[in-house]
Amino acid sequence: SRTVLNELGKPSNLTEPQYIKENARLAESTVLSLQLQMEDILSAFERADQQADALIAQFEEAAREGIQKKWDDVRDENAEKYTQFFSTEQDVLMAQLRLIEFYAAHSDALSIDAENERVLFEAVDLQEEEALLRGEIMRLRAAQKDALQADG
């Protein structure tokens, strides 16, 4: 779940290089699992659309147009919310995965400041790259939050 992914990137879980590499593999499978769950939910809208079409076809032609319009409105409103959320969620998940993979690729070069819960690199370029990756996650989460609040 998303909680697992959040935990894998925490400094307290990055103390040993071999665990960091295991975390990266676990993160990949977690992201894949979440992607599959998102696809299942979105495919439910497609199935519902097909079922609705079959039901609507049973009505007399005069009523069909109005019923179809109502269904289209309901479907579009709900499907759009899920599609938008999953699109932004996909971006967040991929950004988190990139950060965890970055940690795995540089596991021998990082150290943990446990007191301040920070990942540190002696090389300035690695520290800057890590900051950019973390910043991208924060930016995407903020955009996702804004989008959800805009939808009410």
Query: What's the Cα-to-Cα distance from 66 to each of 19, 72, 76, 77, 151, rounded to whole Å?
Result: 59, 10, 15, 17, 26
Task: List CB contacts of 104: < 8 A, sequence separation 6 or more.
Answer: 20, 21, 23, 24
Least confident among 90-94, 138-142, 148-152: 148-152
Rounded Cα distance between 134 and 128, Å, is 10
Rounded Cα distance between 20 and 1, Å, is 18
pLDDT tens-digit series, residues 1-51: 778 888 888 898 888 888 898 999 999 999 988 888 888 888 888 888 888
Identify which of 103, 120, 82 has the alpha carbon closest to the alpha carbon of residue 22.
103
Rounded Cα distance between 76 and 71, Å, is 8
pLDDT (0 to 100) of residue 125 = 97
Instruction: Grade residue 151 by pLDDT with cuts at 50, 70 and 90.
Output: low
Provide the whole-model pTM.
Answer: 0.80
pLDDT (0 to 100) of residue 38 = 86
Rounded Cα distance between 33 and 56, Å, is 35
Q: Are 61 and 120 in contact (CB under 8 A)?
A: no
pLDDT tens-digit series, residues 92-137: 999 999 999 999 999 999 999 989 999 999 999 999 999 999 999 9
pLDDT tens-digit series, residues 76-87: 887 777 788 888
